């Protein structure tokens, strides 16, 4: 028997309390969308659990009544992940936002899923520790684990998956499990932690995460290298990576993007393809790395090279880079933003970025290209008019061609944003071999398909 | 209908050729065991495929006739992984030992599963590249992926799982799939590559691996630090790790083990608890790291500190460490060796190692403790008389207590050797939460339980 909207709200209030379950129109609308261009869909009810036990009872009820369940962090996902496509319950984790335990000697931290990245780093600072994964947005750690997020620092510290030591997960039937432990490594059975990371809420709901953290590096140097062309910038980055240089960040920002940065931020960077760089290490090591980088980048055609050690100047540089998407949004307000996200092998990156730039120019949409060059991962920012069928088609066409190019080079259709709604057909293309196995797993873990339905596979 | 031994041999010869399938007693015996203390069991037939297609046809036949299939690399596993517990077919990969492709610009290499670690590094050398995972034994890469091997360098470069970009896998029904691609990262669907790595031949047979490789570091310095006690040695290592020092290796060797090394190798190291260290980086960075390490280790009670930059002396130092197990085997010939393998959180390592040493001493078995201190992973080498029921019990009791201690600290029952036969009951203890999910996956992937039966789960 299906529960009516009213019955569902009453039940959710019973499982939490009068104030922590709602069908208030404004709140439903806040939970109908993420930061992507995908169309909003309202949930039937939004619930704000305080504990794992509450999450468990919510999911158990949902499963018994075959009601969809969609976890919600801060809604910063980029492929429609937290849009409740089939209605049902949106579970907001804002009340489960505690840093539960810091174990400095073990380089571990235990958090609730609603803790955000900057909140965690604030808590870690006094221990001389930090959590490196930095997708730009101040996402929740639950969300970052769900999409296997990465970002600017992955070239050095790796992506989200290997940082996760243990997950507390509520399964579709409401049972609560732990997937790992506190060990730095393990060869004990199938790697379920790694299977849940990146499953985008379709296999279970995360209620607690144990994460690896790192010592704050002794020295950090940030830099900016300006190039006459995108090709020379990417080639410069690739040669730097091949040299074994200990880069912690290497980001490409193309000229239209630099223009937006200058308009939005208080900067006057040369409007040319630019690499934003960062080095982490000890003083002696970095001095040598920076000197070598200068030599190598100049040899690769860099026209201007600036390194900053001052912490305010470093922060400003990275703020400019991180605000890039917002710079486009503000610069083209009224337009919708589509963010492409593919990965190619490093040797194919120059070709792929040049191809993307050509596509954007030939379609005539405002937009730029930026990339986590160290991982062969890049994004195009496409600003299109959602009310214009033609422009929407153009944006979709650019996205499609970029994905097809990446897949033709044995890259991936998603580097860090995930599949969500937007990339389901490309997942089928990329992983036609393993799709039957993924489906088997999904059907076994979630036989009623209540966990974030309409995403990833079904 | 079950195939008889004879029919099976005839069929395997048909699927390969007259010479590449055999029931020769000597060859069967070679495939009846690994390097562990577990009792040998003969396969019915050993087959030497030349290609993925041959592996596929062998597995397909086995599945149709419900015949067990056990992959065999060089037999260096340590928990009975390649013992054909229920007879059937042992698939030896010695003919599939080609380095298929080196992509230096992409930091990738594609190999067949029979390629060994040193063979791969030989092939990579001319590109200035190396593959870092180093379990000591010259294992095959197929085997290393199957057990999620790690070893001395994991503190810096990570364990086997994150190095694997793509696996070609023959599934139980004989179908051939690829699990990944050439991208450095991906958020495209469930992480099946990570699920297959560490599955110990129970979910599929690997026929090709694409692996991440690294630039050979500019400078390498090896060192040895001698301590008055195991406690001070481990504490010294932990404080070094906490300092953010760029260690590439940090290995504990206790005094009975140093004694064996001196007896077996051409060394005269002080017979005291010792840390073997290695630093990788650029000259400037390492100079600073080594100076700081000297300061920190002395402050932690190190009585003797020797650093080597000469490549012959460095090689000698690590050779001594790597031959430790053989040193015990030769020193106590006639006795069987049991190698324990657990991981604990770093903060629990001193206690765990001291506990293990006390256990060994109180049981009165010859043995030593050595550890990959950076990962909180350590081994006890226990030399026992297999014909003495009492000594066998003692060895088993030590192993059991060490595992229970590790699990009580939320560590893992296996750091790198895997579950195999020997750790099945501890897996059930460690992962009681996720065991039903692991079993679901196994039953879906291998409904007839032909893939390395009797290991890991069933």
Residue B324 structure tokens: 């430790």
pLDDT band with cut points at 50, 70 and 90 for residue A268: very high
Q: Which of B216, B242, B411 has its CB closest to that of A183?
A: B411
Q: Which of A218, A289, A433 has its CB closest to that of B244?
A: A218
pLDDT of residue A393: 97
Q: Which of A158, A182, A188 has its CB closest to that of B345?
A: A182
By mean pLDDT, which of A134-143, A209-218, A244-253, B42-51 is the weakest? A244-253
For residue A416, report the phi and psi dihedrals to the nearest 5 degrees: -160, -15
Contact status of A345 with chain B (Cβ, < 8 Å): yes
| Number of neighbours of residue A346 by Cβ within 10 angstroms | 25
pLDDT of residue B242: 80
ipTM surpasses 0.90 = yes
The minimum CA-CA distance between A303 and chain B, rounded to whole Å, is 24
B51-71 pLDDT, tens digit each:
999 999 999 999 999 999 999
pLDDT band with cut points at 50, 70 and 90 for residue A246: confident
Query: If contacts are CB pairs under 8 Å, which of residues 279-338 in chain A contact chain B?
Result: 281-289, 292
> Above 60 in pLDDT, residue A34?
yes
Contact status of B109 with chain A (Cβ, < 8 Å): no
- All CATH 3.30.70.2190 domain ranges in chain A, comma separated: 219-324
pLDDT band with cut points at 50, 70 and 90 for residue A321: confident
> Above 60 in pLDDT, residue B42?
yes
Query: If contacts are CB pairs under 8 Å, which of residues 25-84 in chain B contact chain A?
Result: none
* Chain B residues in contact with A186 (beta carbon < 8 A): 148, 343, 412, 414-415
pLDDT band with cut points at 50, 70 and 90 for residue A402: very high
CATH class of A99-215: alpha beta
A326-372 pLDDT, tens digit each:
899 999 989 999 999 999 999 999 999 999 999 999 999 999 999 99
Contact status of A390 with chain B (Cβ, < 8 Å): no
* Chain A residues in contact with B156 (beta carbon < 8 A): none
- Torsion, Cα of A92, A94, A95, A99 (10° steps): 130
* Chain B residues in contact with A435 (beta carbon < 8 A): 189
Mean pLDDT over residues A289-318, rounded?
Answer: 92
pLDDT band with cut points at 50, 70 and 90 for residue A2: low
CATH numeric code, B219-325: 3.30.70.2190
> Above 60 in pLDDT, residue A1?
no
Contacts of A310 (CB under 8 A, 6+ apart): none
> Closest residue of B to A239, CA-based?
B105
Mean pLDDT over residues A3-31, rounded?
Answer: 95
Mean pLDDT over residues A118-134, rounded?
Answer: 97
> Above 70 in pLDDT, residue A397?
yes
> Above 80 in pLDDT, residue B28?
yes
Mutation target among A145, A184, A246, A452 for the B interface, most CBs of B within 10 A = A184
Contacts of B223 (CB under 8 A, 6+ apart): B276, B277, B278, B279, B290, B293, B305, B306, B307, B308
- All CATH 3.30.43.10 domain ranges in chain B, comma separated: 5-92
Mean pLDDT over residues B82-88, rounded?
Answer: 97
* Chain B residues in contact with A424 (beta carbon < 8 A): none
Q: What is the mean pLDDT of chain B?
A: 95
> Above 50 in pLDDT, residue B1?
no
Mean pLDDT over residues B165-185, rounded?
Answer: 98
**DSSP helix/strand/coil, B252:** strand
For residues A48 and A219, give the distance between their C-alpha atoms in angstroms, rounded to a whole number: 41
A146-166 pLDDT, tens digit each:
999 999 999 999 999 999 999
Mean pLDDT over residues B189-200, rounded?
Answer: 98
pLDDT band with cut points at 50, 70 and 90 for residue A14: very high
> Above 90 in pLDDT, residue B355?
yes
pLDDT of residue A357: 95
pLDDT of residue B238: 84
Beta pairing class for B69-72 and B89-92: parallel
Contact A351, A393 (CB under 8 A): no
- All CATH 3.30.70.2740 domain ranges in chain A, comma separated: 332-424
| Domain covering A332-424, topology | Alpha-Beta Plaits (3.30.70)
B137-151 pLDDT, tens digit each:
999 999 999 999 999
Q: B264 to each of A25, B225, B287, B327, B369, how far by Cα in Å?
A: 77, 20, 33, 5, 17
Mean pLDDT over residues A423-452, rounded?
Answer: 98
> Above 70 in pLDDT, residue A263?
yes
CATH numeric code, A219-324: 3.30.70.2190
CATH class of B332-430: alpha beta
Contact status of B4 with chain A (Cβ, < 8 Å): no
- All CATH 3.30.465.10 domain ranges in chain A, comma separated: 99-215
CATH class of A5-92: alpha beta
């Amino acid at each position: 028997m299906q529960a009516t909207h009213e019955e569902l709200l009453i039940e959710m209030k019973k499982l939490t309390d009068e104030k922590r379950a709602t069908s208030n129109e404004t709140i439903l609308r806040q939970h109908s969308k993420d930061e992507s261009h995908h169309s909003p869909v309202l949930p039937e009810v939004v619930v704000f659990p305080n504990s794992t036990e509450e999450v468990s009872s919510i999911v158990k009820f949902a499963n018994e009544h075959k009601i969809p369940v969609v976890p919600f962090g801060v809604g910063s996902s980029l492929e429609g992940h937290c849009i409740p496509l089939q209605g049902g319950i949106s579970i907001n984790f804002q009340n489960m936002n505690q840093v539960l335990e810091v174990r400095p000697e073990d380089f571990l931290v235990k958090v609730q899923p609603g803790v955000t990245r900057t909140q965690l780093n604030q808590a870690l600072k006094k221990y001389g520790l930090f959590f490196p994964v930095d997708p730009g947005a101040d996402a929740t750690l639950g969300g970052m684990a769900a999409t296997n997020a990465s970002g600017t620092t992955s070239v050095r510290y790796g992506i989200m998956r290997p940082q996760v030591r243990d997950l507390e997960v509520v399964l579709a039937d409401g049972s609560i499990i732990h997937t790992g432990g506190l060990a730095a490594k393990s060869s004990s059975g199938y790697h379920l932690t790694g299977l849940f990371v990146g499953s985008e809420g379709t296999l279970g709901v995360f209620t607690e995460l144990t994460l690896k953290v790192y010592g704050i590096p002794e020295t950090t140097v940030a830099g900016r290298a300006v190039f006459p062309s995108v090709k020379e910038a990417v080639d410069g980055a690739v040669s730097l990576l091949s040299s074994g240089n200990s880069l912690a960040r290497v980001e490409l920002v193309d000229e239209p993007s630099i223009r937006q940065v200058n308009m939005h931020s208080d900067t006057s960077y040369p409007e040319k393809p630019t690499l934003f760089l960062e080095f982490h290490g000890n003083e002696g090591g970095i001095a040598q790395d920076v000197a070598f980088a200068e030599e190598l980048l100049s040899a690769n055609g860099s026209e201007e090279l600036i390194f900053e050690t001052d912490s305010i100047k470093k922060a400003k540089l990275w703020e400019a880079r991180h605000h890039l998407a917002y710079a486009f949004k503000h610069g083209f307000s009224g337009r919708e933003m589509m963010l492409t996200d593919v990965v190619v092998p490093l040797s194919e990156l120059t070709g792929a970025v040049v191809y993307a730039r050509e596509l954007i120019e030939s379609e005539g949409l405002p937009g730029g290209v930026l990339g986590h060059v160290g991982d062969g991962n890049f994004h195009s920012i496409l600003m299109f008019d959602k009310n214009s069928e033609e422009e929407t088609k153009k944006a979709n066409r650019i996205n499609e061609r970029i994905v097809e190019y990446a897949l033709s080079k044995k890259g991936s259709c998603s580097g860090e944003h995930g599949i969500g709604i937007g990339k389901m057909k490309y997942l089928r293309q990329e992983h036609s071999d393993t799709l039957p196995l993924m489906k088997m797993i999904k059907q076994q873990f979630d036989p009623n398909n209540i966990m974030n339905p309409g995403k990833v596979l079904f």
